[in-house]
Amino acid sequence: MRYERCRMLFGERDFEKLQKANILILGVGGVGSYALDCLYRSGVKHITILDFDIYDETNQNRQIGSEAVGRAKVERLKELYPGVKTIHQRMDIAWVESFDFDPYDIIIDAADTTRVKIEIAKKCYPKLIMALGSAKRYDTNSIEVASIWKTHGDALARKIRNELKKAKFNRNFTVVFSPEEDKCKEKGSCVAVTGAVGLTVCSEAIKRILSTKA
First-last CA distance in the chain: 24
pLDDT of residue 203: 98
CB 159 within 8 Å of CB 151: no
pLDDT of residue 133: 87
pLDDT of residue 187: 86
pLDDT of residue 214: 64
Full set of structural domains in the chain with CATH: 4-211 (3.40.50.720)
pLDDT of residue 29: 96
What is the layout of strands, in order, in the sheet containing 174-177? 85-88, 46-51, 22-26, 106-109, 128-131, 174-177, 144-147
Residue 61 falls in which region: left (phi positive, over 0), alpha (psi -120 to 50) or beta: alpha
Q: What pairs with residue 22 in β-bridges? A: 46
CB 200 within 8 Å of CB 155: no
Residue 182 falls in which region: left (phi positive, over 0), alpha (psi -120 to 50) or beta: beta
Which parts of the chain register pLDDT below 50?
none
